Structures are given as C-alpha cells and as structure tokens.
Amino acid sequence: MWFLRLCVVACAGSAPLSGVASAQGGVQSTVVGVPTSAVMASSIAVGVSSGAIQTLSSVIDNAANNFPSPVTITLTWDLQPSTGAVQVLAYFANPVAAMTSGPVAIPSSWLQGRVMTSGTPGAPTTFTPFTQNAVAGVGAAGGSLALMSQQVLGNSRTGTRTIDLELRLDLTGRVLTPGTYTGTLNIRAVTQ
C-alpha cells in the first residue's frame, strides 16, 4: 500500500510541472532575413550551318559573279523584354581590302549580299553592297550590311530564325587582276 501512495504523490507532483513546460512553447526568436536572388543572363548566338566556305572557281570580268550556294545563318536569342531589337550584321573588317591577292585588293563595295528568306524583317531583298556602317559597335564603317532586324517584344524575347544570305562579286564595268583572292566575311548579332 505504501508503494501505491508513493505513486499517487509522484504523479500528482508532476502534473503542475507539465503545465509550465507547455506554456513556454510560444516563445519566438527574432527574424533573420536571408536575401536571395537569381540571375538569368541574356544571350544571343549566331551559327552557320551551310555555306561556311564560299568559293568562285572562275571569275568573269565585267559581270556579276554569284557565289554558288547561300550562307545559311541561324540566330538564337533569349533576351530581356526591355531589349528593343536584335540585329544581324555581316561585315568585312577592312572595307578597302575585303579580299586580297598579294598587294591587289577587292573593296567591300564590290561584294554584295541579299537575303531571300521570306518574312525576314529588315533584310536586303536585292543585292546590296557591303558599304553600310557599324551598328552599336558591331561591324566596320563602310564595310557592313544589315541582314535582319528582329524586334524583341514580350512574345519574341526568346526565339530562333534561320536566313539564307546569297553573295556575289560584282565586276560590272570592272576588270580584276588575275590572282587568288581571299578574305573573311564576319557575321555577328547585336542588341539595341
């Protein structure tokens, strides 16, 4: 019996302590903020899927000499909606000597391009010489040609466009000194 009385006293004594412990469960610390951020960078890329090497095997004086195949250019972009437009430019770094054979040079004004891909905004649809100026630091003064200008709106801030650039060497009224002429046409995209 004595054991039974001791258990009753022990159980009764622990009851007030359990009430105190549950009352202190509502205490809270101060708030500590952890700043978070995530950055998705804008990107534009230009690639050439065919026509990366252009060769005229037989040039004719006093005629327009068309290169045999177009340069297929693919533009891919993922830009912020605040971007106004993305442009693709083709240019020769040295407009006075776009193509050279030793000391003899072909200026960029003798080379022409056009984009025949329908629906390409801002594209030259007739052969146009490479005599335009740089855009936003891209290109060369007097040696560039704007190939397209795509507006970037909410629904077009991400996209892909493929265009075909046809090239020709216009020797109408001109005679070219015999030689093997080489040069590099640069293609680059820029946002505005």
Q: What is the pLDDT of residues 126-160, one digit of tens each?
A: 999 999 999 999 999 999 999 999 888 776 788 89
Number of domains forming the structure of the chain: 1
| CA dist., res. 141 & res. 95, Å (int) | 8
**SS3 for 118?**
coil
Q: Within a domain: residue 13?
A: no
Q: Within a domain: residue 123?
A: yes
Question: Encoding tokens for residue 66?
Answer: 């068309």
Q: Within a domain: residue 146?
A: yes
Q: Within a domain: residue 102?
A: yes
Q: What is the pLDDT of residues 17-47, one digit of tens each?
A: 555 555 567 899 999 999 999 887 889 999 9
Q: Within a domain: residue 105?
A: yes
Q: Give the mean pLDDT of 97-109.
A: 98
**pLDDT band for position 2 (cuts 50, 70, 90):** very low
Q: Within a domain: residue 4?
A: no
Can you give the residue range of the structural domain that contains 90? 43-48+71-175+182-191
